[in-house]
Amino acid sequence: MRGIQGLGAAFALPSTLSIITDVFPRTERAKAIIIWTAIGSMGIAVGPALGGYLVDEISWSAVFWLNIPVVVLSLIGLKFIPESKDSRRRPIDYAGAVLATGGLLAVVYGIIQGGEAGWTSGEILGSLIGGAALLALFAIVEARSSHPMLPLHYFKRADFTGSFTVIMLFFLGVVGIFFFTTQFYQLVQGRTALVAGLALTPVAPMMIMGTGISSKTVPSIGPKFTIVTAGLIVMIGIAVFSQLEVDTAIWIPIVGMMIFGIGFGMAMPTVTDTIMASVPVNDAGVGSAMNDLSRELGFVLGVAILGSLAASLYRTNVTDAISGLVPDGVSEAIGNSIGAVGQITAGLPADVALVVTESA
């Protein structure tokens, strides 16, 4: 189901920016992209809280049914969307799609499983090397293709490549903020999914505020310094999370997320507009797809890299902390999954449970 949803999103999201590029003149496009970013930020406010409610009150599977009313509204809205399509018929790059998908899957699998299986194991080395080889072959195929899925020549432009990289890194940071904050609230502090979701909602209005700030800073100091300023603000927000402890007040991570949200909101419309401006209007679909690709790469690599790092650190810290305090079987169960901590520690002495929780 997730794969099918992802396929649908891959069709829909790039189309939105393409339509904006086609409908709005260059002088108005930046404002349109700011509004587009702000509306997307509203989903960040509603999604986690609504998802937390559904998980607590119904079931985790109920989250997937949220897409049904969204799709219905989207179908109704089709009648109001102006027609915009390229008269040129381009063949689908099947070879590029297969190589890119296979390469990314292999690399991500290797990163995720590396901490558990061992980075020097044949399984992990084979996965990483094989994935890298497929991606290298993908680059060769794309460079020689007359209709590539990923036009590599755009990466020769500093503005395009820089914006692509910034978006990817910022969304990698989003994974760190959102994923690990919910884990902290639920698994470390024992809060409900609804509370964890509600705690994420203040970041959305800050993102919207950030988009408004960027509309003032880009004309005055330019996109480059706007992005640099946004990056510094994001770093301050992330630094707040380095101070978290088991008994940290619930509002402290919220402050960090709000600071992060301002910087994120400043950066996103700026780099998105830069990407769209760096490609010809008749290739707006390519620019929009690259914008979406950079975001998805950030998510995927964020989950893989940060998740693997967190799992490795957790396993090492917990194993060392509870050595000799619990039976080997219990120690192994705790070390294998942070998600099992709450259930397992419920049957442990209070002092041992505290050691496990603090180590996590």
pLDDT in tens, 252-291: 989 998 999 999 989 988 988 888 888 877 777 777 888 8
Q: What angle do CA 145, 160, 237 make, to 5 degrees?
A: 130
User: Does residue 48 contact residue 183 with C-beta atoms inside 8 Å?
Assistant: no
Q: Helices (H), strands (E): how many in the chain?
A: 13, 0
SS (H, E, C) 286-354: HHHHHHHHHHHHHHHHHHHHHHHHHHHHHHHHHHHHCCCCCCHHHHHHHHHCHHHHHHHHCCCCHHHHH
Q: Give residue for tokens 């899957």.
A: 105
Rg, Å, the chain Cα set: 22
pLDDT single digits (tens) 29-75: 767 777 777 777 777 767 777 777 777 777 777 777 777 887 788 78
Residues 11, 185: Cα–Cα separation, whole Å: 34
Residues 24, 33: Cα–Cα separation, whole Å: 10
Considering the entire predicted model, what is its pTM?
0.75
Residues 230, 225: Cα–Cα separation, whole Å: 8
The residue with greater pLDDT, 78 or 331, is 78
Which amino acid, one-letter code, is at 234? V
- Find the helix or strand (DSSP H, E) in which 76 lies: helix 67-77
Q: According to the model, what pLDDT value does residue 283 have?
A: 74
pLDDT single digits (tens) 210-227: 988 998 898 888 888 999
- Dihedral of the CA atoms 40, 45, 46, 52 (nearest 10)? 130
CA distances in angstroms from 20 to 5, 80, 215, 281, 351, listed in the order given: 23, 13, 17, 11, 58
pLDDT at residue 232 tops 90: yes
